[in-house]
Structure 1
Amino acid sequence: MSRSYTLYLLISCLGLLISLGSAHLVEVAAGKKECFFEDLHVNDKMTVTYQVGQGGHFDIDFWLTDPTMKVLAKHMRQTTGTVSITAETDGRHEYCFSNQMSAIADKMVSFNVHGIIYVSGADDAVAPVEREVRALAAGLTSVKDEQEYVTVRERTHRNTAESTNGRVKWWSILQAIVLFSVVGWQVYYLKSFFEVKRVI
């Protein structure tokens, strides 16, 4: 195997396995939107996964556009979602999270962006083992996304449980205060029946 072919194969494999993604957490204020972008070339692949961790009804609007402002994907009032595209044009692809439907609640959105850079002729040069490595890398990325989603949901449920525990505690204290107040008033009221009033 020639040195140039080996170098080409290595570059091709690296290009195929390059991931654009890592976990991000963004707060989308009520009535606002947050937009991000990736510069892609023709045949590059990009996947965006997201989930709303807290705020309101845990829903968000999402859309993804290409450089010509053509909408490639659109989700309305979703709690979680996944969008995968293959770029058809070179340029800046923009994706936005919108909370414009809410006038009060801010939303916390956790999202991941993954991608594969296309290298011309790489499919012919990739060995079967490398194809398997690529498939495993995609599977690991999917598992990582699911794990992060479960983490966000666990944090949300924990916050809800702690909030509920706090409300139960204060409600119990209020009930105890009312109970002791009523008992004290009843004792005082009954005591008045047994008082002897002297007439002079």
Structure 2
Amino acid sequence: MVKMTKLWLFLNVLFSIAWPEGWAEKVLGTETEEFDFDGLPGAQHEFKIEVGAGREECFYQKIVAGGKLHISFEVIYGGDMRLNIYLRNPVNRGVIDAVENKPDGVLMHHAQITGPYAICLDNSMSRMASKLVYVFLVTYVEEEWSRYRQEIEDVELTVSNFSASIQTVQESVKETLVHQAQSRMHIIKDWYLITGNNTYIQRWSICQCIVVMMCSGIQVYFVRRLFRGTNVTPTSKPRA
């Protein structure tokens, strides 16, 4: 019983990851009301059902040949907290497996026949009290589930490779942005250098032009001084 309980907890955790809790059937992450098990890796049902006093409630789950069925139940409240659960054959409705007069239990079956199997909750031993029962049901084909898991792993590997490529591209883009920023800084530096040189050359050229003009004026003045003469001598006599 301890091993069965551990297996039930393992399957509960496993399928709660693949199929989140909810009333609608979820197949490969998509909700569907009409479930066809053929070709799909598995299905999960998780619900609460009230079984009236002295009554039997049955529901059906289609299972393909070779599929595995796991059923676990627990009486939440009502009466003596005990219940019978039966798994019936899809052909003659004979009882395949049963848990009788217990507050909780686990049923497991490896289906040999394809068809709708009946899971019946029997509260006929209680004449006065109804009972609320929690039911967790899992059906899966082990080979299909292994294939589905392998496909998921392949997809994760592809996503990992794609993520690595994206990371490489992102690093290259960052390097390009850094290079562009450095180029812009060099352009600004060169612009200030060119502007400064232009201002320096303009001012130095103006100064040189002023010096040349002053030298020219002085030269003209002194040359004219050399050729300047008078018509009289210092004693006011006419020159010869």
TM-score normalized by the length of structure 1: 0.51
One-letter amino acid matched to 1:58: M
CA gap 1:96/1:125 in 2 versus in 1, 3 angstroms: closer
Shift of 1:87: 0.8
1:59 matches 2:59: no
Give the corresponding residue for 1:171: none
2:55 equivalent in structure 1: 32
Deviation at 1:86, TM superposition (A): 1.2
**Which of 98, 106, 109 is matched with 1:85 structurally?**
109
Does 2:137 align with 1:113? yes
Change (3 A) 1:124 1:115: closer
Partner residue of 1:101?
Answer: 125
Cα distance, 1:64 vs structure 2: 0.2
The aligned amino acid for 2:98 is K
CA distance in 2 between counterparts of 1:58 and 1:96 reads 17
Partner secondary structure for residue 22 of structure 1: strand
In the alignment, does 2:74 pair up with 1:47? no
How many equivalent pairs are there? 115
**CA distance, structure 2, for counterparts of residue 23 and residue 126 of structure 1:** 22
Separation (CA, whole Å) in 2 of partners of 1:54 and 1:32: 16
Q: Deviations over 1:92-140 (max 9, x none)?
A: 10010011011101100000111113557x868975x96xxxxxxxxxx
Map 1:1-200 to 2 at 5 A: 15-16=40-41, 18=42, 20-68=43-91, 69-117=93-141
Q: What is aligned with 1:8?
A: none
**What is the CA-CA distance between 1:57 and the residue it aligns to?**
0.8
Distance in 1 (CA, whole Å) between partners of 2:128 and 2:148 is 54
Distance change >3 Å, CA 24–CA 61, structure 1 → 2: same
Residue 15 (structure 1) shift: 3.6
Query: Which structure would you say has the larger Rg?
Result: 2
**2: CA distance between counterparts of 1:124 and 1:25?**
31
Structure 2: runs of 5+ lacking an equivalent? 1-38, 154-240
Gaps of 5+ in 1: 1-13, 131-200
Residue-by-residue CA offset, 1:27-52 (whole Å, 9 max, x unaligned)? 10101010011111100111111000
Distance 2:147 2:57 in 1: 40
1:67-106 residue CA offsets vs partner (Å, 9 max, x unmatched)? 1223221111110011111110011100100110111011
Q: Contact 2:63 / 2:114 at 8 angstroms: preserved in 1?
A: yes
Q: Which deviations, in whole Å up to 9, do the C-alpha atoms of 1:119-165 show, x marking residues without a partner?
A: 57x868975x96xxxxxxxxxxxxxxxxxxxxxxxxxxxxxxxxxxx
Q: Distance in 1 between matches of 2:90 and 2:60?
A: 10
Identity %: 22
Using the alignment, how far apart are the partners of 2:107 and 2:119 within structure 1? Answer: 10
Residue identity opposite 1:115 in structure 2 = T
Distance in 2, Cα, partners of 1:108 & 1:54: 6
Partner of residue 232, structure 2:
none
Go from structure 1 to structure 2 and tell me whether the alpha carbon gap of 1:28 and 1:123 turns closer, same or farther (over 3 Å shift): closer
Length-normalised TM-score, structure 2 = 0.43
SS at match of 2:136: strand
SS at match of 2:108: strand
Structure with the larger RCO, 1 or 2 (CA within 8 Å, 6+ apart) = 1
Superposition CA RMSD, Å:
2.8
